[in-house]
Chain A
């Protein structure tokens, strides 16, 4: 009895989460006429890929995609290096002053200067409308330093590092030759967390970027999906009003899929890592 109720409830929740996602996929392959008439609710109706063709013909979307790819790659690389540079020393028992440094980091999780002082700083540094504003002000996350530090402490035996040191191995070599090769699961998790963060971020771009050439995909998405500016753009062409409305409707579903494409591809591969990584970090976190 208990099992039946439990499984039924969980299945209900699963359907509730899955259906909107499924609907978007299905709608993106359908003829928009059926979506607007409410005749498409499960399988794609009037199967076609016209909406995707329109997405890839759109200069702004393609440019935004390339920009996001650039910000995500460079940003994640910086994040990863910075996180390791902080987490490794902090994981070492013989690193004098680690508690003070940790406290300096952790305090920023609870208190900050706020939007305006940060904005003024970034403006004074001359970072507005540059690539750097997308990757430097969020170069490392305290929470991820904690996860990685905990991983180093709990899974890489200190004895191993000590014996390497006795053999004349320096700290940096211990990190590069012993610690990092043993830390692939946590590195995979960090890449996932940071990359998703960069891929999805729009706040940074909204505040600090004004040149449309530099816009990441999320800002372009916002214009299409939320501000409905696409409607304006398409009105300029000679299509009839109904056709315009239909084109825009189909494009909206397709662009949702394209925006999440990298995640859809990576998700199955990385899934086994993130639960493990999350657990490592949370036990002592």
Chain B
């Protein structure tokens, strides 16, 4: 039997030490740096030497004209995404699981996984090419006698374009994890249900869905925990001066005020506000899931 021992496994500790060092430097040092949100950061004085100013930067953010707009857009996009792109992969996995023809199943999987490997720049680039005033979508609209729409600059379209292009890109890949969970379903349960005269739909509803419920709950917790952290990458690429009223979210605001305008303390405060809300939401959803479903992250 292998014994737990520092001395015998010294080489394993040596092996993992660069990784620990990496996490400390690139993840925990920035956490230490969060304190600049409560200071007036001056580069020459450094993080430690700069003066404490309490909640000044937070107050400025809460009082600013942008505050409610950012909250509304960030939450709006987050909840819209959760409501649409969370259930679709589950449905696709349940459908794929019912396909008996292996070749056809393989083909569908190959196709729907593919967009996952495209970059955000490519996806947004395609979106712009297809949706511009003389692009293929508008050509189709005019063909049927409609009026062309400038989708990318119309604020009302922003959220839907964001969410549905996300569905297009991620639904296939996200279904893999549910498909994996479905392979673990005990076949004898299906046989027993068939003898009792259960239909395909009834068997999916009463056997397959309960079987993947723990996976669904875990992924829901993870997704709900990041409702407020709408990704910077795609929003930033889809953003333009004309759709700003619906496309400006916390992460793009942090980038603008922090990196472009060098207001380090202020945007660190905005960023911290965002992470704290995310963290609280994660803990809350986790606690609720634990209570009603006995499934939780920890």
Contact A218 to B121, CB < 8 A, known contacts A13-B92, A226-B237: yes
- Please, which residues of chain B bring their CB within 8 A of the CB of A6? 95, 98-99
A236 at the interface (CB under 8 A from B): no
Pairwise interchain contact A116-B15, C-beta atoms closer than 8 A: no
Secondary structure call for the A interface: helix
- Please, which residues of chain A bring their CB within 8 A of the CB of B232? 203
- Please, which residues of chain B bring their CB within 8 A of the CB of A202? 119-121, 233
Residue pairs across A and B with CB atoms within 8 Å: the count is 244
Scan A4-42; emit 1 where CB is below 8 A from any B CB, else 0: 001101110110111011011000000000001010010
A267 at the interface (CB under 8 A from B): yes
Pairwise interchain contact B118-A112, C-beta atoms closer than 8 A: no
Contact A200 to B119, CB < 8 A, known contacts A20-B126, A119-B258: yes
Pairwise interchain contact B16-A86, C-beta atoms closer than 8 A: yes
Question: Interface size bucket, A side?
Answer: 35 or more
Instruction: Please tell me which one of the listed residues A24, A82, A95, A207 contacts residue B18 in the complex, with CB atoms under 8 A apart.
Output: A82
Per the 8 Å Cβ criterion, residues 138-176 of B in contact with A are: 139-140, 143, 168, 171-172, 176
- Please, which residues of chain B bring their CB within 8 A of the CB of A85? 15-16, 18-19
B208 at the interface (CB under 8 A from A): no
Pairwise interchain contact B122-A82, C-beta atoms closer than 8 A: no
Q: How many residues of B contact A (CB 8 A)?
A: 94
- Interface stretch among B20-28, B67-75, B77-85, B187-195? B20-28
Which residues of chain A have a CB within 8 Å of any CB of chain B?
2-3, 6-7, 9-11, 13-14, 16-18, 20-21, 23-24, 36, 38, 41, 82, 85-86, 88-90, 92-96, 101, 104-105, 108, 110-121, 136-137, 139-140, 145, 158, 161-162, 165, 170-172, 175, 196, 199-203, 207, 218, 221-222, 225-226, 252-253, 256, 259-260, 263, 267, 271, 275, 278-279, 282-283
